[in-house]
Chain A
Amino acid sequence: MTGASRPIGVANVMLAVFKREVSLGMRQKGEVLTPLVFFVVIASLFPLGVGPESALLLRMAPGVLWVSALLAAMLSLQRMFATDYADGSLEQMALSTTPLALLVLAKALSHFVLAGLPLVLMAPVLGLQFGLDTRALGILMLSLLLGTPTLSLIGSIGAALTLGVRGAGVLLSLLILPLYIPVLIFGAGAVEADAAGLGIGGHLSLMSALLVLSLFFSPMATAAALRISLE
């Protein structure tokens, strides 16, 4: 029997999930770095497509960088649940004494740390390529910092719905991209508004609102979707 084992609280279980995801990410660095490289490649495709005229690139920069970040963040969504689903760990999480929604929250936050944060840190480097000044780079980083957790949270719903389904990768994009649009509009809009001399308070508070909303609701939707996929 289990004489000397001690019970652990919900927060510690969530922390255990978080640490597991992050350490797995560290051990499989290739999987974590590929979306980052993808970010750089996509962002570099735009000048190649539209020409290197600096005024045009400067005008395009917030939108292009945001769209590229969004697509790169979406690339790594599938690995959120796929490996655990394949080896049976997801079933065990569904049977955990800790509510699945909380475990999902820990997973989504770890996805933000592994996929979103690198994008936030890489964005200024790409922004320089587009001619953004320091202030604009700062606003860009801030908007991405507020936006990428929301992308991970909303994305987790799509990842859960398409688990083990044919053509999951492309289907996931189709399902998630319309839901990403508000974050894109406010995120890129913040950088543009600042460049135009308008205040960014509105944009940032709306992005924070979206973050809070997705923090509360997407774990529940994702947990429900996971249970459906596990049936």
Chain B
Amino acid sequence: MVFVFATVTSLKTAPSLSFSKLGCSKGGRQLFKNVDCLLEPGRWLYVAGANGVGKTSLLRMVCGLASIEDGDILWNDIPIHSQRETYRKDLCYLGHLNALQESMTVDENLAFTAALGGIAPDPAQTQEVMMRFGLRGRGRQLVRHLSQGQKRRVALSRLALSPARLWVLDEPYVAMDEAGVQLLADLIASHLKSGGLAVLTSHQRVSIGDIPAQMLELQTK
């Protein structure tokens, strides 16, 4: 009884992401190996490295999109492949692509991606988020008619509406202007302050408020 109580509390209060001897190879070449890391709530992991070293592969492995050949990734000390359903509830991924259907409106897209996450967001909250990202009044507009930067902001709105505690962001600053960069940094900062975690890659040097980055430098040995 006490054990069950303790497990439930630990799941709810302090999630952690850790890598254990993680390795990756592509096309017969070993990209990186024996990578260890521990990420705690309120911290963000900045994955750095040269082009082609496997940053995107690492992030896709964290999401469970790419299979893990060497080593393990653990969420709450449990390997992610043995808790797929639970893990996905806590995961939100923003990759290079926006995951927006061009022939649908902004509202429809946000409703759909929220549904994939298993929730129907509150309309008032959606409005508030869209306003924050400068998309006010564009709800009924087809995504096709938005600029690249605006499409990226719709993708960020998806992030803001997600209840997930772990955010995995692959070069989120691409196609964003300065104002957008600031909005995103603030968004991630508030996410981290409420106990969330984030994994990030970017070509530019990034600062998230006053929260220091945990660095992970990938190198091909």
Q: Does a CB–CB distance below 8 Å link A and B in the complex?
A: yes
Query: Which chain A residues have a beta carbon within 8 Å of chain B's beta carbons?
Result: 1-8, 12-13, 16, 20, 23-24, 27-28, 83-84, 86-89, 91-99, 227, 230-231
Q: Which of B64, B89, B119, B124 contacts A6 (CB 8 A)?
A: B119
Query: Is the CB–CB distance between A2 and B119 below 8 Å?
Result: yes
Do B93 and A5 touch across chains, with their CB atoms under 8 A apart?
Answer: no
Q: A231 — nearest CB in chain B belongs to which residue? A: B66
A95 to B113, CA, bound (A): 10
Q: How far is the CB of B186 from chain A (nearest CB, A)?
A: 15
Q: Is B63 an interface residue (CB 8 A)?
A: yes
Contact across chains for B101 and A5 when beta carbons are under 8 A apart: no
Residues of B within 8 A of A16 (CB): 111-112, 115
Q: Write the chain A residue with the least CB distance to B118.
A: A97
B side interface size, CB within 8 A: 40
Q: Does B103 contact A (CB under 8 A)?
A: yes
Confirm or deny: B15 has a beta carbon within 8 angstroms of a beta carbon on chain A: no
Q: Does B116 contact A (CB under 8 A)?
A: yes
In the complex, A8 Cα to B91 Cα: how many Å?
17
Q: Report which of B91, B98, B104, B121 forms a contact with A5, defined as CB distance below 8 A.
A: B121
Any chain A CB within 8 A of the CB of B184? no
Q: Are A97's CB and B116's CB within 8 A?
A: yes
The answer to whether A88 touches B97 (Cβ under 8 A) is yes
Task: Let me know if A5 and B99 touch, CB within 8 A.
Answer: no
Q: Is B122's CB under 8 angstroms from A4's CB? A: yes
- Report Cα–Cα, A64/B101, bound state, in Å: 37
> Which residues from B are CB-within-8-Å of A99?
85
CA separation between A5 and B111, bound complex, in Å?
Answer: 11
A13, B116: Cα distance in complex, Å: 7
Q: Is B163 in the interface zone, CB < 8 Å from A?
A: yes
Interface status of B88 (Cβ within 8 A of chain A):
yes
- A89-B101, A95-B88, A97-B88 are contacts. A8–B115 as well, Cβ < 8 Å? yes
Assuming the contacts A2-B121, A97-B89, asked whether A92 and B116 have C-beta atoms less than 8 A apart, the reply is yes
